[in-house]
């Protein structure tokens, strides 16, 4: 859906910003109604991490949406899923998480899919 939306909008940056504004508005409103004190306390302590995470998320998703305007949506979506490979490598190497058989198979399938996309 986002691939179609960003192409029809003609403005990837504006489309991305509106997606984030609309999503955040609902979540912020719900949180302000349900847990205003917790939100204020958490936001006061962790605003730097939240801002960095928000900027990073906005940039990465915006880049993916922009790529969908210049390349086939299926190829961009498949390539985007390869981020799981990097997450698994970071988890195993730096966080010392164990990669079990099921995760290993899933990682292999993602890598194989990315390779097939390259050679197709």
How do the pLDDT tens digits run along the chain, 120 residues long? 888 889 999 899 999 999 999 999 999 999 999 999 999 999 999 999 999 999 998 998 899 899 999 988 888 887 787 888 888 888 899 999 999 999 999 988 988 887 887 777
- 14 and 66 assigned to the same domain: yes
The answer to whether the CB of 100 falls within 8 A of the CB of 93 is no
- 4 and 30 assigned to the same domain: yes
User: What end-to-end distance do the CA atoms of the chain give, in Å?
Assistant: 24
Say if 3 falls within a structural domain: yes
pLDDT, position 119? 77
- 62 and 86 assigned to the same domain: no
∠ at Cα 119 (4, 1), nearest 5°? 10
- 44 and 100 assigned to the same domain: no
- 56 and 108 assigned to the same domain: no
User: Which residue range(s) make up the domain with 33?
Assistant: 1-71
- 94 and 117 assigned to the same domain: yes
The answer to whether the CB of 16 falls within 8 A of the CB of 61 is yes
Burial track 22-61 (b if 16+ CB lie within 10 A, e otherwise): eeeeeeeeeeeeeeeeeeeeeeeeeeeeeeeeeeeeeeee
The answer to whether the CB of 62 falls within 8 A of the CB of 6 is no
pLDDT, position 81? 79
- 23 and 66 assigned to the same domain: yes
- 53 and 96 assigned to the same domain: no
Domain count, the chain: 2
- 5 and 48 assigned to the same domain: yes
Say if 77 falls within a structural domain: no
- 37 and 67 assigned to the same domain: yes
Say if 76 falls within a structural domain: no
């Amino acid at each position: 859906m986002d691939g179609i939306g960003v192409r029809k909008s003609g403005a990837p940056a504006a489309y991305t910003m509106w997606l984030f504004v609309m999503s955040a508005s609902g979540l912020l409103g719900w949180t302000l109604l349900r847990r205003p004190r917790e939100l204020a306390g958490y936001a006061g302590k962790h605003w730097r991490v939240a801002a960095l995470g928000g900027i990073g998320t906005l940039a990465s998703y915006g880049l993916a949406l922009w790529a969908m305007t210049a390349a086939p949506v299926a190829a961009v979506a498949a390539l985007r899923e390869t981020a799981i490979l990097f997450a698994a490598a970071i988890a195993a190497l730096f966080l010392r998480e164990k990669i079990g058989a099921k995760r290993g198979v899933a990682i292999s399938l993602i890598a194989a899919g990315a390779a097939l996309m390259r050679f197709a």
